[in-house]
Amino acid sequence: MSRTAFCFDLDGTLTATEILPCIAAELGISGEIATLTRLTMDGHVPFEDSMRLRTLILGQVPLARVHEIIEAIPLSSELEEFVRERADACFVVTGNLDLWIAPLVRRLGCRLFSSKATLAPAGVQLVSILSKDHAIRALRREGAFDSVVAIGDGANDVAMLREADIGIAYGGVHAPAAATIDAAHLVVNDAGSLCKLLKEL
């Protein structure tokens, strides 16, 4: 029996909102970070530059408080159920920081590919930024899956969608970026339809 790996973007795909603006609310700059996040998602600001800047700013928020915020962020109930029922075949692939999103990943119960950071006296220190296509290639090297399906909404998902056997641009929270739609094989705009499709793949 063939096995399919399902690789999900996190922010705005599995979650019902973008994560970093929620953290930014602690500093009173949620609007500014939301604007930067949207510009990044749409491909107007390079993801690596944006992530470095957002980490520098949001790294001021104590990690314990970040985890409280993260734990309160809602997940798509349908997609959460899909992932939890197939945790051995589902993967979160995100540019977000492992240090920040740990509570959500524990809740989902699946493996994670992410950017990495450490906690230093001065705050959160960025170690590496994930290139999402590298995650797909790493899965292929493991040899456990016959095909890979990738689901995302932003410009930083383009390489992942192109590297996958099937790339899906998902518009459950907001419209996918134009570049993401161009890179995708399919476009799906609600969680119910997405889950139904994934169960057939």
Domain regions of the chain by residue span: 4-200
Q: Which CATH number fits domain 4-200: 3.40.50.880, 3.40.50.1000, 1.10.287.890, 3.40.1280.10?
A: 3.40.50.1000
Distance CA 37, CA 34 (A): 5
CA 140 to CA 165: how far, in whole Å? 11
Place of tokens 């705009």: 189
**pTM of the full structure:** 0.93
Tens-digit pLDDT string for the chain (201 aa): 569 999 999 999 999 998 999 999 999 998 998 898 889 888 899 989 999 999 999 998 999 999 999 999 999 999 999 999 999 999 999 999 999 999 999 999 999 999 999 998 878 899 999 999 999 999 999 999 999 999 999 999 999 999 999 999 999 888 999 999 999 999 999 999 999 999 998
- Quote the Cα angle for 51-54-58, to 5°: 135
Place of tokens 């524990």: 106
Which tokens go with 33?
Answer: 């970070």
Contact present, 102 and 134 (Cβ < 8 Å): no
